[in-house]
Amino acid sequence: MLFKGKLSIQLLLFGVLFCLTTTVKAQSTMDLRINEVLVMNQANYIDDFGQHSPWIEFFNSAYNTVDMGGLYLTNDLEKPTMYQIAKGDPTTKIAPQNYLVFWGDDHSTRGIRHLNFDLSSSKLVALFDANGRTLIDVVKLDQTHRTDTTYGRITDGGSEWGFLDKSTPGANNNTKTVITSAEKFGMVDPSGLGMAVIAMSVVFSALALLYVFFKNVAKLYTIDYRRLSARKQVVASEKPADGSGEHTGEVNAAIAMALHLYRNQLHDHENTVLTIRKVSRTYSPWSSKIYGVLNNSR
C-alpha cells in the first residue's frame, strides 16, 4: 500500500515535471514572431549572393535564446511542412529580443536561410512548430505591396501591422528614439519626491503585510488547541442534565485530591539512576606487564 502511495506520488511528480518542460519548450518557439516582410526588392537589402531577393524577418520576443532549427516555413497552410529549417546550425539560433532574416527567393540551394518558395508570388507566409501541425505565426501578403517598402509590425512583436517608413532587416522596427523607463520616470518626477512616496509606500505595504501576518500568527500560536478541545470535551461530558453547569461535591473533591497529589509529587530533579557503562580501555598502567615484572639489577 505504501509502495503504491509512493509510486503514485512519483508518477504525479513526473507528470508535473513533464508538463512543465513541454510547456517551457512550447513557450520558447511560440514566442517567435514574423516581424517584417519585403515582397518586392529592387534596391533594398542584398543577400549573400549579391541578389535583391524578397526577405522575411523573424523576431524572438522571448528573453531566452530560441533555435529555429527544425521549424517549418510555408506559403500554403495546406502544406505546412513545405520548408524545414535545418537543425543543428548555429545561425538558426536567435538571441533574446533579436532577429533573423530569411530570403524568400525560391533558391534553397543557396543556403539554409534561402527558402524553397518565392515570397513575391505568395499570398501568405506562415511559421509552424517542429511537429508540423502547430501554427506559430502567419501573415497575409494580399495587400498592394510597394517596391522596396517593407510591411511589418509597427513595434517589434506588437499586434499592429503597416508599411514601415524605413526597412530594418535584423533591426528594431521602431526607428524613433526610444525613451527608457528611467528617463520617462525622471521627466515626470524630476525631484524624486514621487519616487520617494511611491517606493516608501510599497516598502511599508510589503513589510506591513509581514507585520500583520506574524502578529496574528503569534496569537494563533498562543492558543493551546489540545487543551481547548480537551476542556470542551470534559465540560461536555460533565455537564449535568439539568444544565446548571455546577460541579458536584464529589467532582470538586476529586479535583482537589488530584491537585494535591500532583503538587506533592512535583520535584526538581529526576530520580538518580545508576548505569554501568562499559568503557573500552585497551591500555592501563595497572594492567601493564612492565609494572608486574621485577627489574633485577645486574
Partner 1 sequence: MEQQSFLGFITDHLGQFLGYTAFANMTVGHLIMIAIGLIFIYLAIAKEYEPMLLVPIGFGILVGNIAFFPGLKVGIYESGSVLNYLYFGVLQGVYPPLIFLGIGAMTDFSALISNPKLILIGAAAQLGIFGAYALALALGFSPSEAGAIGIIGGADGPTAIFLSSKLAPDLMGAIAISAYSYMALVPVIQPPIMRLLTSKRERLIRMRPPRAVSKREKAIFPIAGLLLTCFIVPTGLPLLGMLFFGNLLKESGVTKRLADTAKGPLIDIVTILIGLTVGASTQATTFLTAKSVGIFALGAASFVVATFGGVMFVKAINLFLKEGNKINPLIGNAGVSAVPDSARVSQVVGLEYDKTNHLLMHAMGPNVAGVIGSAVAAGILLSFLY
Among 95, 138, 203, 251, binds partner 1 (CB under 8 A): 203
Among 163, 204, 233, 248, binds partner 1 (CB under 8 A): 204
64: contact with partner 1 by CB under 8 A: no
Burial 236-259 (b: 16+ CB within 10 A, else e): eeeeeeeeeeeeeeeeeeeeeeee
Between CA 158 and CA 177 the distance in angstroms is: 17
Cα–chain-centroid distance for residue 107?
A: 41
182: contact with partner 1 by CB under 8 A: yes
Least separation in angstroms between residue 210's CB and partner 1 is 5
Among 18, 49, 163, 214, binds partner 1 (CB under 8 A): 214
Between CA 217 and CA 106 the distance in angstroms is: 69
43: contact with partner 1 by CB under 8 A: no
Among 77, 195, 235, 259, binds partner 1 (CB under 8 A): 195
The terminus-to-terminus CA distance of the chain in angstroms comes to 82
Between CA 40 and CA 16 the distance in angstroms is: 48
Site string for partner 1, 126-165 (x = CB under 8 A): ----------------------------------------
211: contact with partner 1 by CB under 8 A: yes
Helices (H), 178-224: 181-188, 193-222
Cα–chain-centroid distance for residue 233?
A: 48
Least separation in angstroms between residue 185's CB and partner 1 is 5
Judged by the rule CB under 8 A, the positions of this chain that interact with partner 1 are 180-183, 185-186, 190-193, 195-196, 198-200, 202-211, 213-215, 217-218, 221
